[in-house]
Amino acid sequence: MFCYQRSFGLPTEVITKEQFRALITAPETSRKVKEAREALARGDKSAYDNKKKGLPFVIFIATYDESDKEFENKQTDEKTTRRGCWRNQKYCRLNGLCVIDFDHVEGDVRKVWAEAFARLGDEDKARVLFVFVTPSGHGLKVVFMADPSVGNLIDNQIVFSQKLGLNPDEACKDASRGAFLTTSEDVIFIDEEKLFTYENEEFGKKYNGEYRSGHSQPTIRPAGSAVAAGHTGQGSHNTGGESPDAEAVMTYNGVTYVKIIEAWLEGVNLDKNRHNTLTELASHLRYLNGKNPKKITEVVMSLPWVKDLAAEGEDVAGTVSSVMGWRYTERMPDRLRKALGKLGRSGEVDIYAMLPLDKWAEELMEMAEYYPCMKELFLNAHPHKMPAILFSSAALFGTLMTRAYYHFWYEPEIVRRLNYCIFIIGDPGAGKNVIEKFYFKIADPMIQSDQGLIDAVNRYKDGRTERTTSTKAQKGDALKKPVVGIRVHPARTATGEFIRHMLAAVEIVQGQPMNLHMFSFDSELDNVTKNNKGGDWKDREILELKAFHNEQDGQMYANQESITGMFNVFWNFIYTGTPYALHRKVNQRNFGTGMSTRLAVIPLPDKGMAQRHQKVDPNSNETLRTWAYRLDRVEGEIPIEPLNDETYDWQSSRLEIAEFNGDKADRTLLKRIPYYGIGVSLPFILMRHWDEWQESKTLTMDDTDKRLCRLAMEIQYKCQQFFFGEMAFNYFADQNKEFVVRRRTTRYDECYRKLPDEFKTQQFMDCFGCSNATAARSINRFKEDGIIENVKFGVYKKILMELP
């Protein structure tokens, strides 16, 4: 025996077999399921949720004793009490049925169930009473007879799911949770006789008291779970033996979450807006737990007021999951920081923990077995610093390959060069000097080549100075200014000189003139930003922007010293700096310039202790130098078709998701990532296949090479989201506010939306929290406006599902 709710806001009723059959065969149910799935297919999650809430709602696992429920009139603040079998866990009577929710089943759900059901033994097969496809069309609900000897509802879910070989959703562990029914066509299996008559008194006697007290947590631990492995929360661990109390293991830096939340709640009136308080709390707990909805749900469900909220019908797990997508800023919210401060704990958080640095490091260590120079580059480096070393060294090696080019899959007729705009960002003292160390080692061919040109310019300047003071020197031959293509430029460089050198740095490669890349390295990004503010350097911000695609620029000034004409920009740069320096360079005000998507901003976390006895490889420097000089001689087209395939597939799949989500911000960040996939991986791939390249100018790439390319794109994508995701989101949000008139959803709209398709005057009063007279006036107005129609006396039907 189980129950259902005719509508939200009404008490539960025991459902009969005939009523159940009428609900799943009703044309209205079929229509709502169809509309819900259509909304989900077009990516309208809000519309899907609204349609789903209009479906029949059944609680398979319990019935409820009578209790009083208080209602408050929102307009008059008048409170009334109604008695009924309300859906409240405090008054539940467990019947021994258990429900497992399998969300997001991949493939044909019926085929997946058939394969899972076949894994069960005969006794377990006989326990299954009802299986149907969920409203999304991509999930399964399984109703089966619980085994008291196994444990409570969640324990039975865990054990039975393991037998089925499927991963469950824990949301059904509370006795107030229900399920939205679908149509008879979605029923995979039903045992009507047992489903409507089954009652296990032993189960109820054993667990009713626990559930009424709000204790619905698992009493067993699934194999392989974090708790089973001894990881029960940041800064805490299970020492073995019996499963510890949930509150005891849920700690942060040695303080229980309950105490942290008590400090966080100081001054909050929990009698009002508990839902809003829960959403804000869940969003703040991400800074302690990461984006782990399961863990956060476990934490908040230890709070009495959240248990009460769940008992009243709040979908706590759903509420927690809904805030996981909220924007995550680098700074911990002040409210949470103050709460930790009151408890004598630092509000500092490792913001880089949001990035999968351990995973990237593991992959890079594997790659080091295949690619020359990687072992030398990663020697003595903390694993979390490896991505920064990878990108900066790739940019150095790639700049040496300036005489090479490739054809990209987008507009393949264009000759593409290896272009890099790299920022390595870390806190003061994080060890950014490691990037400078590799700069001097790898960029040596450029530095040495420039030295002779720099000497020539200095001799010319000395000669001109001498002519102003020496009569003999004035009688000599006229001095001719040397035309030099100096490639390495510091922050303090006149733009005129920079352009002059860039235009002079041209070589004939395979019969065609080719511009060589200029290159800049600075260990202090602030030095670059401050030099932007004065002198000729300020014009070079546009050159920075145009460098990534070698776009055209030009100048036509009146002074005789400046070059007149148009030119393309060939310039790579690597700057290291702090997060604040990055903010001064790229921020919300200038996000729209496009600089952020051209940049590869890679973090350099302040991790690890300096080693007293570091590993020394006597051949390391020579290895890096040898490969630097080899790559400096590379010229001509490099065939990269396998990388073209890899980058196209990677980007296309993620753009499809961004399109599906309607996420313009994500779409923008994805646009230029394939260029870094190629630019970062290609120098190492060329080194790996050096003999083949020398012999035939070909590269036979394998899955390992594609994997390196894919890893470079993953790092760039995650770092783009990390540093610029918030800016991108705000950019489009502000754009929408500025240029798009959006409809505002009012509380009145929400109340109307909550009304069932057919409703009575009392239901209208409950939803809107108004008096009988007010309800009558509103209903008459709705009828006059053609929004609803009269079915019979006191019963009305919606014509429009949304208020116009």
The stretch 314-333 carries a mean pLDDT of 76
Q: What angle do CA 457, 452, 416 make, to 5 degrees?
A: 95
Residue pLDDT, tens place only, 600-641 = 999 998 876 666 667 777 788 999 999 999 999 999 999 999
- What is the sign, positive or negative, of the torsion defined by CA atoms of 401, 405, 406, 407? positive
3-state SS assignment for residue 180: strand
| DSSP structure class, residue 89 | G
CB 531 within 8 A of CB 522: no
CB atoms within 10 A of CB 716: 26
- pLDDT score for 390: 97
- pLDDT score for 342: 73
d(CA 157, CA 146): 8
d(CA 647, CA 711): 11
Place of tokens 């020394």: 616
Rg, the chain, Cα only: 34
3-state SS assignment for residue 571: strand
Residue that wins the pLDDT comparison between 511 and 304? 511
Residue pLDDT, tens place only, 707-720 = 999 999 999 999 99
Per-residue pLDDT band at 479 (split at 50, 70, 90): confident
Q: Is the pLDDT of residue 246 over 60?
A: no
- pLDDT score for 598: 94
Among the listed ranges 217-231, 325-339, 721-735, which one has the minimum average pLDDT value?
Answer: 217-231
CB-count burial class (<10 Å; 0-12, 13-18, 19+) for 400 = buried
CB 53 within 8 A of CB 757: no
CB 681 within 8 A of CB 708: yes
Among the listed ranges 234-243, 476-485, 704-713, which one has the minimum average pLDDT value?
Answer: 234-243
Per-residue pLDDT band at 224 (split at 50, 70, 90): very low
Highest mean pLDDT among 74-78, 445-449, 541-545: 445-449
Instruction: Output phi, psi for 139, to 5 deg.
Output: -140, 170
- pLDDT score for 344: 62
Give the burial string for 673-710 (b: 16+ CB within 10 Å, else e): bbbbbbbbbbbbbbbbbbeebeeeeebebeeebbbbbb
Q: Is the pLDDT of residue 374 over 90?
A: yes
